[in-house]
């Protein structure tokens, strides 16, 4: 029996479509699971390194600590952070005594100013939430206060 040319072409074309769909399907699955794991999609390089939130550029830090800023930071820390964070060892949240070695000042400020965004959108925030299983709430801290807390944490890290 001789098949018409058009039938042969039709069979080839449908094979091709099935194949293309199978491969395309796998590809999409890979990409989505990758995203769920890292959530890196859509974050800029700055955001990946320094966090997601109102701090969108590097801030200036001098080598000398500003004692007034340290004092202001310490006061806010004692009022709004100490119930969940220890300097050494984990509590509700991670230890913060060495956080300035792990993270940039901008990252820490974005975490203070936008904790829910950080655990939703940033891979490190998501990881921390999985580990600590409590979402850090926004503590009504203003940007200049977050900067003061960073100064306090920097000095603590240096002296201990």
When the beta carbons of 39 and 108 are compared against ligand HEC, the nearer one is: 108
Over the window 118 to 157, marking each residue x when it contacts ligand HEC by CB under 6 A and - when it does not, the resulting string is -x--------xx--x-xxxx-x-x-------x--------
Pick one of 39, 72, 93, 147: the residue that binds ligand HEC (CB under 6 A). Answer: 93
When the beta carbons of 20 and 59 are compared against ligand HEC, the nearer one is: 59
Looking from the CA of 3 toward its CB, the CA atoms found within 13 Å total: 7
What is d(CA 73, CA 11) in angstroms, rounded to the nearest whole number? 73
Pick one of 69, 81, 100, 113: the residue that binds ligand HEC (CB under 6 A). Answer: 81
Q: Kindly state whether residue 85 participates in binding ligand HEC, applying the rule CB under 6 A.
A: yes
What is d(CA 32, CA 39) in angstroms, rounded to the nearest whole number? 10
154 contacts 100 by C-beta, under 8 angstroms: yes
Measuring CA to CA, which residue among 7, 159, 152, 15 is closest to residue 85?
A: 152
Stretch that binds ligand HEC, among 9-17, 38-46, 63-71, 78-86 (CB under 6 A): 78-86
Residue 69 Cα distances to 28, 109, 118, angstroms: 50, 14, 25
What is d(CA 107, CA 113) in angstroms, rounded to the nearest whole number? 10
Q: How far is the CB of 94 from ligand HEC (least distance, A)?
A: 4
Residues that bind ligand HEC (CB under 6 A): 80-81, 83-85, 92-94, 96, 99, 102-103, 108, 111-112, 115, 119, 128-129, 132, 134-137, 139, 141, 149
């Amino acid at each position: 029996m001789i098949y018409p040319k058009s039938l042969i072409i039709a069979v080839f074309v449908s094979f091709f479509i099935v194949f293309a769909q199978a491969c395309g399907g796998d590809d999409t699955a890979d990409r989505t699971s990758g995203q769920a794991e890292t959530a890196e999609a859509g974050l800029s390089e700055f955001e990946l390194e320094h966090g997601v939130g109102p701090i969108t550029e590097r801030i200036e830090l001098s080598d000398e600590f500003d004692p007034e800023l340290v004092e202001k930071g310490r006061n806010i820390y004692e009022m709004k952070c100490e119930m969940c964070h220890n300097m050494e060892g984990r509590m509700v949240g991670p230890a913060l005594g060495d956080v300035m070695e792990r993270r940039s000042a901008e990252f820490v400020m974005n975490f203070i100013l936008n904790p829910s965004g950080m655990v939703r959108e940033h891979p490190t925030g998501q990881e921390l939430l999985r580990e600590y299983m409590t979402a850090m709430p926004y503590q009504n801290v203003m940007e200049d206060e977050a900067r003061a807390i960073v100064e306090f944490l920097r000095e603590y890290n240096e002296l201990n």
